[in-house]
Amino acid sequence: MTPRSEAWLWVQLIAGAALPAELVLLVLLLAGADPGPLPALERLLSWALGAVAPALLLGRRPADLRSLLLFKAADREPTALQSQLAAQQQQTVVQVLFALGVVAMLPLLVWADRTAALATALSPLQHTGRLSCLLAGTAVLALMVWQWQQLVQAIWLLTRRGEQLAATAPLSSEALQHGRTHLGLPLLRLPVLSFESAGPAVAVEREQATKENQGADLDQQVS
């Protein structure tokens, strides 16, 4: 089996579409109040609480492959493929890309706070205090950190070859239980995906049949 047969990885790619929407939500939440006397310090503290702190926790205990924050797998025991995929979660490339994304959230937060003045009329937190807006924005940042890690992990694992995965020793159930972050209600059951390659063969057979029919028509015309 290859990583592409794991449905959980494909579902986690939805984060690629969710992250821009969450950035827009961040702008709307910050638009509820004007910046305080020290906006740079406020943004730095919000980034530290909403991005850096969750990133440190997820760096030590990455998000479980079968957890989607609100929901997770109903099966307690992972499959052999899922245990092998979990062993590839903390590769250096994955950790570097994850850290770069967390760092990039600081200029994104600065941009969102500066742009928020244009969306004051659309903010769901109008006429509230600056602290409430910052706390709500901090929660959105934490959500973005979670989804960014899952997006990076999913792309990395989906691009691994079956031979590379076969050479990886699977993590034990105890290591998965204590070394991964499991969040959500245990309600989901996703099937194993299968990719068949019968399409090209059918196309060739149809092409050959077409050529044979054309040849028969030419023979009839000549005769």
Give me the mean pLDDT over the 25-34 stretch: 93
Reduced to 3 states (helix: H, G, I; strand: E, B; else coil), residue 63 is: strand
Give the model confidence (pLDDT) of 141-184 as tens digits: 999 999 999 999 999 999 988 887 878 888 888 888 889 999 99
Tokens of 188: 């989901």
The Cα–Cα gap between 114 and 132 comes to: 17
* pLDDT at residue 146, as a whole number: 96
Reduced to 3 states (helix: H, G, I; strand: E, B; else coil), residue 37 is: coil
The torsion defined by the Cα of 157, 162, 168 and 173, in degrees rounded to 10, comes to 70
* pLDDT at residue 210, as a whole number: 59
pTM of the model: 0.83
* pLDDT at residue 207, as a whole number: 57
DSSP 8-state assignment for residue 75: -
Tokens of 159: 């691009």
